[in-house]
Structure 1
Amino acid sequence: MSSRNQQLFDAAQRHIPGGVNSPVRAFRSVGGAPRFFTRGEGPRVWDAEGKSYLDYVGSWGPLILGHTHAPTVKAVQEAAALGLSFGAPTEAEIEIADLLCDILPSLDMVRLVSSGTEATMSAIRLARGHTGRDLLVKFEGCYHGHSDSLLVKAGSGLLTFGNPSSGGVPADVAKHTLVLEYNNAEQLAEAFAKQGSEIAAVIVEPVAGNMNLIAPKPEFMQAMRELCSKHGAVLIFDEVMTGFRVGPQCAQGLFGITPDLTTLGKVIGGGMPVAAFGGKREIMEKIAPLGPVYQAGTLSGNPVAVAAGLVTLKATRAPGFYDSLAARTKQLTDGLTAAAKKHGVTFCAQSVGGMFGLYFSATPPTSFAEVMQCDKEAFNRFFHAMLEAGHYLAPSAFEAGFVSAAHTEADIAATIAAAEAIFAKGV
C-alpha cells in the first residue's frame, strides 16, 4: 500500500505540473515522494500521515519565529477581519516602510511588492532606468527569482555574454546579462575594466543561499562596492533570503557594505507574501508615479500580509535575538561537523546568523564550481535517513537551511544525535 504522501503526490500530478507549485518541492533532486504538510507549531511540522518533523526549512526562511507564532497569527486574524485587500493605501504600509528605513541606513525610500522575484525584477529595471545602461552583472549560482534577465548561465568563456538557462528566455534578453564567478574579485574588476561604461548594475546574494550556503570573501564584497561607485553602476544586494535572517541589519550590516538598492522578502512577511525593494532617494524617485520607471501590483502592501510582517520584524528587535539565533545555528553546524569527524565521514557545515549549509566535502565551498564537487549522492542518502528519523532538511544539496527562534537546545541536540547515528552506519 502506498503512503498517504505518495497518494497525494500522484493526485497532484494530474493537474499541477510536476505535482508542485515550485520545483524544489518535488524532491526530484533527492528522489522519493515529497511530504505534504498539514500543520506546523514552533519548530515542528506534521505531514499527511501525522508524522512529526523538526523543521530546518521554515518555508525557505521566512519563519524566523517558528510556525504559528501566536502574536503573528493573531495579527493576521485581526487584519483579515477588517478586510482581505483594498487595492488602496493603508496606514500599516506606512508603518512597515518607516520601520524598514529606520532599521537599514541604506534605505531612504522603499516600495512594497508581493514576492522576491518581483522585488529583484523591479530593482533591476529601476537600476537600468536610473543609469540609462543595459548590462547586468550577476554571479554563477546566485538565484534572484525567475524573471527573464536572471535565468541566465555563464557563457562559454570569461566575460562572454550569458546564455538562457531556461526555456522561454530569448537570447536577446540573456545577452544583456553577464555571469561571473561568485567570490572572484579579480574577474569582476576585469569585467568593469572592459565594459564598465555599459554596466547598469551588479546584483548579488551577499550570502549565497541557492547553491547551498556560500559565505562571501571580504575582498569580493569590497571590490563590488568600489567598482560600482567608480563606474557609476548600481550595487543591488538581494537580501530576500538574508534580510533580517543573518543579523539585525541584514548582511549589509554584518559586513559593513552599503548597497545602492536592496531587495527584501521572506522574513519581512513572517510567512505571508510580502517583499520590498528600496535604497537611495535619488534612485527610488525614478519609480512611478514620481519617475519614468513603471512598476505596479494589485496586491502590493496587502494589509493581511503586512500585519504578519510587522509583528515578525518587531519581534526580531528584542535584545539578544540575533545573538541567540546565531548561537543556536552554530550549535547545529558545530555538532554535525564533530559527529561526522568522529565517524570518519567527509562532511562539514557552517552558518551565518540563522542560515546554515551542509556539505559532503572536506571544507566549505566558496564558489559554484566547488559546490558542484561535493558528494551529492551522499547528501541524498543522508537527507532520506534524517527524514526517516524525523528531521526535515532542504530536499536538495544546493539549498541553505534555516534555524528559528523556536528551536531549543534540546531540539538541536536531538538533530545532532540523529545525524551521528547515521554517520556511525556510514553514509
Structure 2
Amino acid sequence: MEFEKSKKAFDEAKKYIPGGVNSPVRAFGSVDIAPIFIEKAKGSKIYDIDGNEYIDYICSWGPLILGHSNEKLVNGIEDEFKKGTSYGLPTQIETKMAKKIVDAYPSVEKVRMVNSGTEATMSALRLARAYTKKKKIIKFEGCYHGHSDGLLVKSGSGTLTYGIPTSPGVNSTVIEDTIVCEYNNIDSVKKAFQDSDDIAAVIVEPVAGNMGVVEAKKEFLEELRKVTKEYNSLLIFDEVITGFRLSYSGAQGIYDINPDLTCFGKIIGGGLPVGAYGGKAEIMDMIAPLGGVYQAGTLSGNPLAMYMGYNTLEILENNKDIYDDLQEKAKKLEKGLNEHIEKLNIDVTINRVKAMICIFMSQGPVDSYSQVMKSDTDKYAIFFKEMLKQGILLPPAQFEGLFLSTAHTDCDIEKTIDAAGEAFKVAFRK
C-alpha cells in the first residue's frame, strides 16, 4: 500500500497549517506515521489521494451514522445551496430542527444552536453559573468537553494521546474554578460538594467517548442526579457523541435520567459543523435576548447544517430499528475480536455500550481513567498500522472509539475481524 501522495500533501500542509492539520488527532502522531489525506468517501468506504480504499471506522468522529454521502440525506442539498449559504437572520428550518430535538429529549424544553461541541459546553457552563449564582464546576478525569479554558484539565481524546494534562495559555485562575473528580466514583463527587458550597454544575459524558469508550454505571449517574439536586447545582449531560447515537433520545433515554442541560453536536449536523445546548425553559430563558447571559454566533443555526441535521433526524426517527441494527453489528465485531483475543491469550479489552465500541490494549476491566491509562499505546500503534495495510481505517489513537454506520455491511465486519486476527499477532508478536 503506497502513501507517497499523502506524505507530499502532509509536507506541504505543514508549511501553512500548525502541525499540518486542523485538529491534533488527524496528525496520526500517536501511531507514528504520516496521516493519510482523503479524496472522497461513499457508504462505509473512504479513499485517500493515493487511491487506497478503506473500511472507515472514524466516520468523521461520529456524525456520519448513516455513512458517507447517504443519498437520502444529501438529496436536495444543491437546492439549499442555490437559495443561499448563510443569512444572519432567522429561518424556519432552525425552528423545525429545535422542535425535533425538544420532541426527542424530555429534559429539553428549549434549545439554542451553536457551531461546535466546544461552543455548546462552554455556553452551557456559563448559563449554569448564571442560573445558580455559583462559580465552580465539576468535571471528570478523561472526559473531554471541548477546548475551552476551564475544561482542559485531565481531559480525554487528543490531550490524553499527547500527554497534556492542561494547556499552555490557560490562566490558573480559570483552572481554580474546575474541580476534577473520578469517573464512576460518586464518593469523590460527594466529597467535592462537602468541601465547597460554590459548585454551579457537574458536567459529564454519560458514556465516555473521549478516553476510549467507558460506560458510566447507572447508579453513578443516578447519584449524580441526586447530589446535584441536594446542593442546588445543575447536572449537565455532554451528549455531543452519544446524542442520537446510543438511541434516538441519547444516553439519557437509556438510563432514564433527566439532566438540567444537555449538549449536542455531531449527528445533529449530518456532517456539517454544528452544536447545540438545551434544557428547562426556566434556565434557557436566561440567555440573551430574553436574559442577560450573552451568547451569539454569526453562523449559528446555519441553514445548510440545519437542513442536513434535520434530514438525519427525520431518517432516524422514522427508522428506529437502525439502533438495533447498529448494536447487532457492534456485537458481531465485539464477538469476533474477543475470539481472537482468547485464542491468542493477549491483554486486550473490548468495551462496548450499545453500538459504541473500543479496543483497549490492556487487561480489563476498563471502567475508569486510571484503567484507561494502563493501555499500551505502542501496541495500539502497531495494530493500527497493520489494520491500515489490510484496508481497515481505525481511529489513529488508542483513546478513541470506533464509529459504526448503517452503511457498514456484514461483509465489512467480517473482513475487519479477519484483519484484526493478523494485526493482533503482529502487535503482540505471536
1:29 alignment partner, SS class: helix
Q: Which residue of 2 aligns with 1:184?
A: 185
Task: List gaps (5 residues or longer) in structure 1.
Answer: 155-162
**Greater CA deviation, 7-16 or 352-361?**
352-361
Q: Which residue of 1 aligns with 2:274?
A: 274
TM-align CA RMSD: 1.4
1:401 alignment partner, SS class: coil
Q: Distance in 1 between matches of 2:19 and 2:426?
A: 34
Q: 8 Å contact 1:234–1:260 — kept in the other structure? A: yes
Q: 8 Å contact 2:235–2:261 — kept in the other structure? A: yes
1:136 alignment partner, SS class: strand
Q: Which amino acid aligns with 1:305?
A: A
C-alpha offsets along residues 211-237 of structure 1, whole Å, 9 cap, x if unaligned?
Answer: 111111122111110000111101000
Matches within 5 A, 1:159-178: 165-178=166-179
Q: CA deviation at 1:164?
A: 7.2
Q: Which amino acid aligns with 2:199?
A: I
Q: Which amino acid aligns with 2:255?
A: F
Q: Distance in 1 between matches of 2:351 and 2:371?
A: 15
C-alpha offsets along residues 307-349 of structure 1, whole Å, 9 cap, x if unaligned?
Answer: 0001111111214111111111121122111112112222121
Q: Which residue of 2 aligns with 1:394?
A: 395
Matches within 5 A, 1:328-407: 328-407=329-408
C-alpha offsets along residues 149-185 of structure 1, whole Å, 9 cap, x if unaligned?
Answer: 111249xxxxxxxx97101100011100001111111
C-alpha offsets along residues 282-316 of structure 1, whole Å, 9 cap, x if unaligned?
Answer: 10010000111000000000001110001111111
Q: CA deviation at 1:2?
A: 7.0
Q: Which amino acid aligns with 2:306?
A: V
Q: Which residue of 1 aligns with 2:219?
A: 219
Q: Distance in 1 between matches of 2:355 and 2:267?
A: 11
Task: List gaps (5 residues or longer) in structure 2.
Answer: 156-163
Q: Distance in 1 between matches of 2:407 and 2:368?
A: 31
Q: Which residue of 2 aligns with 1:105?
A: 106
% identical aligned pairs: 47
Q: Distance in 1 between matches of 2:231 and 2:310?
A: 37
Q: Which amino acid aligns with 1:312?
A: T
Q: 8 Å contact 1:245–1:353 — kept in the other structure? A: no
Q: Distance in 1 between matches of 2:99 and 2:388?
A: 41
**Greater CA deviation, 339-348 or 29-38?**
339-348
Q: Which residue of 2 aligns with 1:249?
A: 249
Q: Distance in 2 between matches of 1:128 and 1:141?
A: 23
Matches within 5 A, 1:150-161: 150-153=151-154
Q: Distance in 1 between matches of 2:287 and 2:33?
A: 45
TM-score (norm 2): 0.95
Q: Which residue of 1 aligns with 2:129?
A: 128
Q: Distance in 1 between matches of 2:202 and 2:219?
A: 16
Q: Which amino acid aligns with 1:183?
A: N
Change (3 A) 1:9 1:364: farther
Q: 8 Å contact 2:3–2:50 — kept in the other structure? A: no
Q: Distance in 1 between matches of 2:107 and 2:387?
A: 41
Matches within 5 A, 1:68-87: 68-87=69-88
Q: Distance in 1 between matches of 2:76 and 2:22?
A: 27
Q: 8 Å contact 2:135–2:199 — kept in the other structure? A: yes
**Greater CA deviation, 36-45 or 210-219?**
210-219
Q: Which residue of 2 aligns with 1:311?
A: 311
Q: Distance in 1 between matches of 2:91 and 2:76?
A: 15
1:210 alignment partner, SS class: coil
